[in-house]
Amino acid sequence: MTPNTLFQHTDIILASSSPRRRELLAGMGVPFRIADAYPVEEVWPAGIAPQEVPSFLAALKSKAYPGTLTADQILITADTVVIHDGRVIGKPKNRDEAIDILHRLSGSAHEVVTGIVLRNDRTEKHLSETARVVFGTLSTSEIEYYVDCYRPYDKAGAYGIQEWIGYVGIERIEGSFYNVMGLPTRLLYAALTDFIRTQHL
């Protein structure tokens, strides 16, 4: 069954402002529309394990969606976090914070975890995938060059793997490259196809 046939009767709604997620979902051959922006306070309870944070936030975004879903719709919400030394590394607020984050990631390994929720009016499916990323040692001038040229203030961990720093700074990845970009595409495609087939049995 081709993507055109599989998805032709399903209204897929992506609730994300991330241009990377839009690019990845389009690259998967999935027809979708973007949900109108709505407010979500992205905070998580104290004591939650760092690896559980993205799944918690993806569920929070799903619950906050203001629209009413039908059986022929699928809402996709997602969140990606970087975990280094047991701590969640969020998006940098400014240049100094981005530089500090990248100094911490330099010469070490970290995890990138993405949580996803698929939901319609009667079913909810939770997904999670982890990749391990190893950075080589970056000089201060390299870090400052990247931050000043690419301004990675909208990216967890202060970097985009598809940008210059990914080409020159990353030694290896264990897991999905696309997960590090923001969506584990193989996992999501399999889950979407299974979700649609299950709903139409």
Q: What is the pLDDT of residues 166-181, one digit of tens each?
A: 999 999 999 999 999 9
Give residue 61's pLDDT band: very low, low, confident or very high (50, 70, 90). Answer: very high
**What is the pLDDT, as a whole number, of residue 9?**
84
In 96-112, which positions are buried (b, 16+ CB within 10 angstroms) versus exposed (e)?
Answer: eebbebbebbbeeebbb
Residue 195, Cβ neighbours under 10 Å: how many? 18
Whole-angstrom distance, CA of residue 80 vs CA of residue 179: 8
Whole-angstrom distance, CA of residue 78 vs CA of residue 133: 20
Is residue 153 within 8 A of residue 93, CB to CB? The reply is yes
The question of whether 79 is a catalytic residue gets the answer yes
Query: E-strand spans in the chain?
Result: 11-14, 33-34, 73-84, 87-89, 109-119, 124-135, 170-174
- Whether the per-residue pLDDT at 63 is higher than 70: the answer is yes
Give residue 7's pLDDT band: very low, low, confident or very high (50, 70, 90). Answer: confident
User: Which one is catalytic: 11, 36, 72, 79?
Assistant: 79
- Looking at per-residue confidence, does 17 or 59 come out higher? 59
Is residue 76 within 8 A of residue 97, CB to CB? The reply is no
**pLDDT tens string 98-156:** 999 999 999 999 999 999 999 999 999 999 999 999 999 999 999 999 999 999 999 99
**What is the pLDDT, as a whole number, of residue 8?**
82
Q: Give the SS3 label for residue 50.
A: helix
Give residue 51's pLDDT band: very low, low, confident or very high (50, 70, 90). Answer: very high
**What is the pLDDT, as a whole number, of residue 2?**
61
Whole-angstrom distance, CA of residue 35 vs CA of residue 45: 26
In 142-157, which positions are buried (b, 16+ CB within 10 angstroms) versus exposed (e)?
Answer: bbeebbeebebeebbb
Is residue 112 within 8 A of residue 81, CB to CB? The reply is yes
- Residue at token pair 């997602």: 78
**What is the pLDDT, as a whole number, of residue 117?**
98
Whole-angstrom distance, CA of residue 75 vs CA of residue 88: 26
- Amino acid (1-letter code) at residue 162: Q
**What is the pLDDT, as a whole number, of residue 187?**
98
**What is the pLDDT, as a whole number, of residue 119?**
97
- Whether the per-residue pLDDT at 1 is higher than 70: the answer is no
